[in-house]
Chains A and B, each alone.
Chain A
Amino acid sequence: MNEGAGRGRLLPAASEGGPFVNADLLRKRAATAALLAGFRRQNMILVGLLFFTAAVAPALPFVQDWMATQASLVIIYILAAQGVSILTGQTGLVTVGHGGFLAIGAYTSALLAKYFAVDLSIDLVSGGIAAGLIGCVLGLIFLRLAGAFMAIGTLGFAFFVGAIVNNVPIFEGRDGIQMPHSHLFGMRLDDFGFYYVSLATLGLTTAFVYTLLRSPVGRAFRALRDAEKAAESSGVNRLFYRTLAFTISAFLTGVAGVLNANITGYVSAETYGDIWYSVDFLVATVVGGSSALMGPFVGGAFIVMVPFYLEQLADFAFILKGVVLILVLQFAPAGVCDLIARPFRDLRRKQLQRVQDDAAKTPPPALAALFSRGRQ
């Protein structure tokens, strides 16, 4: 028996951070680990570049106000799609009702702005929390649902929210609520100001989502998605993680809702009482693809830009969205992101293979170096 081993324990307990015993294995994994870390750095640089470009773009000469608004709209959809992707893509619970959470965020913001004239920063947090709480409750109510029934249940939820905003007087139904102009920390926001606020919010949420999904929590989500009983037998608490997924997912879409309300300064049951947002977000998730990070970006951009270019012919927008959706499903079912990323993935796989084959020949690195290189 290995020294220091207890029953079932190979070494001093894992929680104490015991070292490897096998130097050979260390050596082999070192190169692989370094390569994988390199891939992750590349991904982060790519996303960072995207944000950087977005941040400096307004300085370009041909950029006008309406572009900032349009870009903000894309950001809002990406944010909402991030919410959907956590629940559907990562935890496997299909939702066709996130328009409901968008509405909750939007109306929270509208009511706070109208009656209390609060700052946008408070709005964002409150709208997110309100949606998150309802999401938590919904997750508990729908605890035993799966698959198709979950989809229908969430669809029912979206319509329920719609029925409430249509009929409960405080929400002023189809007349809607006119909001005072949004301001952040006392400063009045113009189109570009709002754009930067949206971008910053997206930056925060993206960082959060990235961290979340790489952590054991993200692993627990995916385990529940792929093999629920096996996940439970491994110690994943179904109730806790499901509800957590719902809560986080609703929170993110709620925050998107706050931004959505503020971009027009007006909320009414006409837009929020419908299913269009809910199905749009699902389409964004499906078209964008299962990559939790980039999927929402691609999908969100798609769903907003299509109608934009067909502004005058809104009906054609519907038709085009439907046709593209069907084509994507038939020819690229894993989503557009997957399609684009495929050659890169193949390249990376070859690199990985080469590194693992070479590993036997390279000399072993120092043990300490392994743990200090930011390797996860």
Chain B
Amino acid sequence: MIRNLYTRLVLIVIVAALAIWVDVSDEIQLYNPFNDTVLFSRDITPRLGLDLQGGLQVLLEADLPEGTEVQAENMQTARDIVENRTNALGVTENVIQLAGERRIVGEFPGAEDADAILDIIQQTGLLEFVDTGDFRPEEGTVLQTDFATGSTEETTPPTDANGTEPPTVYHTIMTGKELRSVNVGVDPQGKPAIDFALSSEGATVFAQHTAANIGKILAITLDKRVVSAPGIEGAIPDGQGQISGSFTAESANTLAVQLRYGSLPIPLKVVETRIIGPTLGEDSLQKSLMAGLIGMIIVILFMGIYYRLPGVVAAIAILFYAAIAFAIFKYFHFTLTLPGIAGFLLSTGAALDANILIFERLKEELRNGRNLVQAVDQGWTRAWSSIRDSNLATIITSLILYWFGSTFGATIVKGFSLTLALGVIISLFTAIYVTRTLLTIVLRNFKPRNLQSWFGI
């Protein structure tokens, strides 16, 4: 650590100034002093959790039979697709995250129309290439396929004109997962068509199938509904194909987007929905901020009255701690939740505990007849082992909580454990570094005569 006390003080002041800057602004920008261009800019408006501003949370689960192995990369792709889809709605600050092996949690803060979002997510398509033999289904026909039974669209009645749903279960050659790229192109007649390229695995499957089934129909379905049912005109060995049909430029484009973003590799179902009305959220925010403020004031008063001079110094350190912690939460876009605020308050408790441990030790050393400098020194050295060991225990439990929270998309638990753990770490720093530096500097410039009244022995 830095030896010179005043260098330390300068460092502390700089950090405090930076933290306060971040705390009070919504956006930070650094300008190049020579030509006024923006060197660095970051939006740091505080992110409020659903419980504080209202919104919608959904937990999606892979809709595959229990025990089926779900590949991590497929879930990742599904997540990306859900994100693309819902972002298209124009809702800002959506958070879509993987939660465990077969779940995705989506959060839509401030979402007013929960149903629109749920619809979009649930309609997100599953693309299949289906072998229908010689049967050429009309566009819009619902096909039964042998892939992943229990898909979201299963219960929807057929919508084709004649109402003749083919009872047969058709074989799915492959799903949209194998699509590498999709683009709008033109067919040999100059009409809009869709060009696609397949992954190497997909290309192999596709090559075998097309070679063996020339003249047969290969239906392309989105959520079991036929989009196009071209005939196989020849073997397609290289995984490059074209879907042609009665497309307009517009409908070709829509389909391309659907194929690109709508080809969910895994069917998903909603297993959990939480909606928090905006009034409840706002009420909670106001009240808990007020509660936090009142609690802090009482604690600071207590520290000042009971521990006198060091107590006042510790109170300053605590404010400093609060400023840093809040700045970090803002800068790294941590979502502030109600339990998060509670975790923050508790970590303030941990920060206080560290100070109290030290001050009690300091008083003890003073009572044992040591002089002030020795007592301060001993207070910190002796108290350190218990501060370290006890806070490590807290950090261990918050890590376990964090793990628990992230497997289930329980963002409440996650927010709490994250703020608690970070708070404890920052509080260690302020107790050990800030309080000590400030106290030592004060004691250098001011030699208290009456230890009893200044230290409250």
Q: Do A and B bind each other?
A: no
Binding site for B on A (CB under 8 A): none
Binding site for A on B (CB under 8 A): none
